[in-house]
């Protein structure tokens, strides 16, 4: 479900309710996500939420008793509900707050992640975060940086853009969209992409992700922000999910090819 824009929209949504609140109760489901949920999360009862941040597709909730690292996987959502609303199927984690609200993590496929980071430990040093590449909105994310990262890569440029050691936050939807806007064939080996093309990619990664955040993300099946509102960027998608439909530029039918076991959409005429 979530790529960077959806995670950012979710983070902004729960931030309004979580910031400066006190956690009165922690619910920990029995089923394991990507990793089992630590019972130490219970230590956060009574903690005051000090800060929310996002790194790649991870949300970090910092409190005065430790931090939580959250990942939504493929099918995870965070929802804000009143304190007394019952848990439902696939709710695996919840924070109940002193302001009468609660945050629920619902994740049918259980590819998500909830980690407890003790006070004094830096969540950014966690193994899931420590080896991540630059954020796309980092000023250091430039054409020269991207070119350097991919110059020896034989994998397709599409897979390279989704590689979290190249740049973070670009998932399967936005990789196709960015390549379309950059007029680059997703099947090309990454090492054939020129510096000028890297400039286009950097520009379009930033603009597509920003635009999607502004639109509340992309709702394909069931994504919604923490407030329940869907994302409207789906209306702006040019190629993703558009197999057989006319290219918005040249009207050629959009193609779908599998790269790295993921569906990839492109215009065979516009993208070289």
Partner DNA sequence: AGTGGCACCTGTGTGC
Partner DNA sequence: TGCACACAGGTGCCAC
Binding site for DNA (CB under 7 A): 1-3, 6, 32, 34, 56-58, 71, 73-75, 89-90, 108-111, 128, 152-156, 159, 162, 164, 171-173, 190, 217-223, 231, 260-263
| Residue among 96 and 233 whose Cβ is closer to DNA | 233
CB of 64 to DNA, least distance (A): 27
Q: Is 2 a catalytic residue?
A: yes
In the complex with DNA, the residue whose CB is nearer, 163 or 197, is: 163
Q: Using the minimum distance from each CB to DNA, give the nearer residue, 54 or 101.
A: 54
For 173, other C-beta atoms within 10 Å of its C-beta total 24
- CB of 96 or CB of 217, closer to DNA: 217
**How far apart are alpha carbons 257 and 168 in whole angstroms?**
23
Phi, psi of 63 (to 5 degrees): -130, 175
Residue of 12, 40, 187, 262 marked catalytic: 262
Catalytic member of 11, 54, 55, 57: 57
Catalytic residue among 3, 6, 177, 197: 3
Q: Which of 192, 185, 198 is closest to 158 using CA atoms?
A: 185
Whether 148 is catalytic: no
Asked if 109 is an active-site residue, the reply is: no
Cα 59 to Cα 37, 113, 171, 174: the distances in Å are 16, 10, 16, 19
**What residues act catalytically?**
2-3, 57, 262
């Amino acid at each position: 479900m979530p790529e960077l824009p959806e995670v950012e929209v979710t983070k902004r949504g729960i931030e309004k309710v979580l910031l400066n609140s006190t956690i009165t109760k922690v619910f920990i489901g029995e089923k394991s996500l990507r990793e089992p949920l630590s019972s130490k999360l219970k230590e956060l009862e009574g903690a005051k939420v000090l800060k929310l941040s996002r790194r790649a597709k991870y949300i970090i909730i910092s409190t005065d008793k430790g931090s939580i690292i959250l990942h939504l996987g493929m099918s995870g959502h965070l929802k804000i509900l009143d304190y007394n609303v019952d848990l439902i199927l696939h709710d695996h984690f919840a924070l109940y707050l002193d302001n009468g609200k609660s945050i629920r993590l619902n994740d049918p496929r259980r590819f998500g992640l909830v980690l407890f980071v003790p006070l004094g430990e830096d969540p950014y040093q966690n193994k899931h975060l420590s080896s991540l590449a630059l954020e796309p909105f980092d000023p250091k994310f430039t054409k020269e940086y991207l070119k350097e990262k991919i110059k020896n890569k034989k994998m397709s440029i599409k897979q390279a853009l989704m590689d979290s050691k190249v740049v973070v936050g670009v998932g399967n939807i936005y990789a196709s969209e960015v390549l379309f806007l950059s007029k680059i064939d997703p099947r090309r080996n990454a090492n054939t992409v020129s510096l000028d093309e890297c400039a286009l990619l950097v520009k379009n990664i930033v603009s597509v992700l920003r635009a999607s955040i502004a639109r509340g993300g992309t709702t394909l099946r069931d994504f919604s922000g923490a407030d329940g509102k869907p994302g409207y960027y789906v209306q702006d998608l040019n190629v993703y999910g558009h197999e057989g439909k006319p290219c918005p530029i040249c009207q050629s039918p959009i193609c779908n090819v599998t790269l790295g076991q993921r569906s990839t959409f492109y215009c065979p005429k516009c993208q070289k």
